[in-house]
């Protein structure tokens, strides 16, 4: 039945609507079109988002920097990263409608965002300038993931950060035992702690590029062992004497000798010498002297047998950690971090460039910012540079020296040999009963080691400090054997 005709002016008039199927419009040439055949997996991975202070720090209605690490999982020409700003006040999140774009360069994308006022916070802030809120940003990529930055609190009182930097030959190669020559540096850390008792502590370890086992694990191990020493956690140290540890990193006779060389405090040490890591009569006697001393003064019941067994090592480590002015307050819980590929171009007080085998202790008066997102970071991470940017002052402790062993053409140690070191500084010394000799007070540069005994020339060797390498057949690094 057909529709009745109605006058167009009649309010009851209607015209049937014809349904039209909408066809998709053709894309512009500049549009990105993903077909069913295209791989939809991520091309880009974003990580380590962080705010960067502007010229005036973090200020309302002022620009600040934002950046994120960019890793390309597949070859792509898409380098644009989008940054969006958000705020949180009284648990309410607000999109600040502030957006910027940055393009990847050298593994990093950067942009500027303006820290606009939050609507709800502004009225309260006018009445009470101490009212705070948080800002954060989200970074995203068209074919990658989205990451959210740590928050910054506004109004922002600049974080005062202070640093103690331990530089030089503070570790044996591939080891995380802090050598006794680093103890004055430990005291510098405690002095800084006494000045800023409430500051949060961040310990950052670095591993040397000239070490066989250099890497993030070694860097973190060194930070953890320093933290254990500062907080008197002897059990963490004792684990490194375990036979389950790889031989090159395991602690043994040399570490026992080194600790005995500074005990008892303020008295003649139990052990004197260069600590070759060889259990000889001198070492056995030193262990017996410690065992007697510990039983008489510390209430232990050690067998006085000259053997560095588990109980003796436990008492020794505890005594070593009890040295005066080497412990943080009991309420301080340090954060440990390992870094690789991050260089510090700030020259030390002695004018040397800090090498990779160093330790840094940061004191954050307000809070560690940014907090480490992981226990270790590699080159390209934005966290370590952000910590350095906040440092107001640095106290350096430097020990520049080497221990070497003189051996003959048959690779046998040469005792009582005369050794001359020539280079930026010059030194003379005589090897001990195991062919070891030690030099300190070195400056950076090329050195020649000349050795002879009773006018018989043993040989010459060359090395570079502070990245001294072993020269086979002439100079050998001290070996550390496990005490039974």
> Over the stretch 118-176, which tens digit does the pLDDT of each residue have?
988 988 888 887 788 999 999 999 999 999 999 988 886 556 899 999 988 888 878 89
Does residue 372 have a pLDDT over 60?
Answer: yes
Q: Which stretches within 277-381 are classed as H helix?
A: 281-297, 310-321
CA 298 to chain centre: 36
Summary mean pLDDT of the chain: 83
User: Which pLDDT value is given to residue 17?
Assistant: 43
User: Which pLDDT value is given to residue 430?
Assistant: 87
DSSP codes of every residue in 1-53:
-PPPP--TTSTT---PPPP-PPPPPPPPTTS----TTS--S-SEEEEEEEEE-
Does residue 13 have a pLDDT over 80?
Answer: no
User: Which pLDDT value is given to residue 401?
Assistant: 79
User: Which pLDDT value is given to residue 8?
Assistant: 44
Please compute the mean of the pLDDT values over residues 306-332 and round it to a whole number. 97
User: Which pLDDT value is given to residue 67?
Assistant: 95
User: Which pLDDT value is given to residue 434?
Assistant: 81
Does residue 38 have a pLDDT over 50?
Answer: no
Does residue 349 have a pLDDT over 70?
Answer: no
Residue predicted with more confidence, 56 or 115: 115
User: Which pLDDT value is given to residue 203?
Assistant: 98
- pLDDT tens profile 60-70: 899 999 999 99
Query: 342-347 long-range CB contacts below 8 Å, 24 or more apart?
Result: 342/206, 342/377, 342/379, 342/381, 342/384, 342/385, 344/165, 344/388, 346/394
Beta bridge partners of 68: 109
User: Which pLDDT value is given to residue 42?
Assistant: 87
Residue predicted with more confidence, 6 or 55: 55
Lowest-pLDDT range, 7-21, 37-51, 108-122, 360-374?
7-21
- pLDDT tens profile 296-317: 999 999 999 999 999 999 999 9
Spatial contact of 399 and 170, defined as CB atoms under 8 Å apart: yes
Determine what percent of the chain is predicted with pLDDT higher than 70. Answer: 82
- pLDDT tens profile 110-127: 999 999 999 889 888 888
Residue predicted with more confidence, 264 or 209: 264
Strands 436-440 and 401-406: antiparallel
pLDDT category of residue 40 using cuts at 50, 70 and 90: low
User: Which pLDDT value is given to residue 436?
Assistant: 81
User: Which pLDDT value is given to residue 155?
Assistant: 81
- pLDDT tens profile 244-263: 999 989 999 999 999 999 99
pLDDT category of residue 347 using cuts at 50, 70 and 90: low
Phi-psi region of 12 (alpha: psi -120 to 50; beta: other; left: phi over 0): alpha
User: Which pLDDT value is given to residue 249?
Assistant: 92
10: CB partners within 8 A, 6+ apart: none
User: Which pLDDT value is given to residue 47?
Assistant: 94
184: CB partners within 8 A, 6+ apart: 397
B/e letters for 389-421, b = 16+ CB within 10 Å, e = fewer, are: ebbeebbbbbbbbbbbbbbbeeeebbeebbbeb
User: Which pLDDT value is given to residue 482?
Assistant: 28
User: Which pLDDT value is given to residue 205?
Assistant: 92
User: Which pLDDT value is given to residue 36?
Assistant: 39
User: Which pLDDT value is given to residue 469?
Assistant: 36
Does residue 19 have a pLDDT over 70?
Answer: no
> For residue 267, what are its two tokens?
């008295």
Domains and CATH numbers, the chain: 44-154 (2.60.40), 161-397 (no CATH), 401-476 (2.60.40.1120)
Please compute the mean of the pLDDT values over residues 373-385 and round it to a whole number. 88
Strands 161-168 and 391-399: parallel
> For residue 261, what are its two tokens?
């060389």
Please compute the mean of the pLDDT values over residues 417-444 and round it to a whole number. 85
Does residue 471 have a pLDDT over 90?
Answer: no
> For residue 145, what are its two tokens?
């993931």
User: Which pLDDT value is given to residue 455?
Assistant: 72
- Report which of 336, 391, 389 is spatially closest to residue 67, judged by C-alpha positions: 389
Spatial contact of 372 and 383, defined as CB atoms under 8 Å apart: yes
């Amino acid at each position: 039945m057909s529709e009745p005709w109605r006058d167009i002016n009649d309010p009851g008039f209607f015209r049937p609507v014809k349904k039209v199927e909408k066809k998709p419009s053709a894309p512009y040439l500049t549009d990105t079109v993903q077909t069913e055949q295209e791989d939809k997996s991520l091309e880009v991975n974003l990580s380590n988002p962080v705010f960067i202070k502007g010229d005036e720090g973090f200020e309302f209605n002022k620009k600040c920097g934002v950046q994120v690490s960019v890793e390309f999982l597949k070859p792509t020409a898409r380098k644009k990263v989008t940054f969006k700003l958000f705020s949180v006040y009284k648990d309410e999140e607000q999109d600040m409608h502030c957006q910027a774009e940055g393009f990847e360069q050298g593994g990093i994308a950067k942009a500027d965002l303006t820290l606009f006022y939050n609507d709800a916070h502004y009225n309260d802030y006018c009445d009470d300038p101490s009212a705070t809120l948080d800002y954060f940003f989200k970074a995203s990529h068209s074919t990658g993931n989205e990451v959210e930055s740590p928050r910054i609190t506004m109004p922002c009182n600049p974080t005062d950060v202070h640093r103690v930097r331990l530089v030089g030959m503070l570790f044996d190669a591939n080891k995380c035992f802090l050598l006794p020559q680093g103890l004055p540096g430990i005291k510098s850390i405690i002095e800084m702690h006494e000045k800023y008792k409430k500051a949060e502590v961040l310990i950052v370890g670095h591993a040397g590029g000239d070490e066989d086992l250099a890497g993030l694990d070694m860097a973190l191990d060194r930070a953890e062992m320093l933290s254990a020493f500062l907080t008197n956690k002897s059990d963490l140290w004792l684990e490194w004497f375990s036979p389950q540890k790889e031989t090159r990193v395991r602690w043994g006779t040399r570490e026992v000798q080194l600790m005995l060389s500074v005990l008892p405090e303020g008295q003649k040490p139990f052990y004197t010498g260069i600590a070759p890591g060889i259990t000889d009569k001198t070492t056995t006697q030193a262990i017996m002297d410690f065992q007697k001393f510990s039983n008489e003064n510390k209430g232990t019941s050690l067998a006085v047998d000259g053997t560095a067994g588990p109980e003796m090592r436990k008492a020794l480590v505890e005594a070593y950690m009890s040295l005066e002015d080497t412990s943080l307050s009991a309420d301080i819980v340090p954060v440990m971090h390992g870094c690789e590929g991050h260089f510090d171009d700030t020259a030390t007080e002695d004018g040397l460039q800090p090498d990779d085998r160093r330790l840094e202790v940061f004191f954050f008066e307000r809070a560690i910012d940014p907090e480490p997102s992981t226990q270790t970071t590699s080159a390209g991470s934005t966290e370590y540079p952000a910590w350095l940017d906040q440092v107001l002052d640095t106290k350096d402790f430097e020990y520049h020296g080497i221990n070497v062993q003189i051996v003959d053409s048959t690779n046998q140690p040469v005792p009582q040999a005369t050794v001359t070191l020539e280079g930026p500084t010059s030194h003379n010394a005589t090897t001990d009963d195991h062919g070891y000799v030690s030099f300190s007070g070195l400056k950076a540069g090329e050195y020649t080691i000349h050795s002879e005994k009773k006018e018989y020339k043993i040989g010459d060797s060359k090395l570079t400090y502070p990245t001294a390498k072993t020269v086979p057949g002439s100079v050998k690094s001290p070996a550390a054997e496990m005490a039974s």
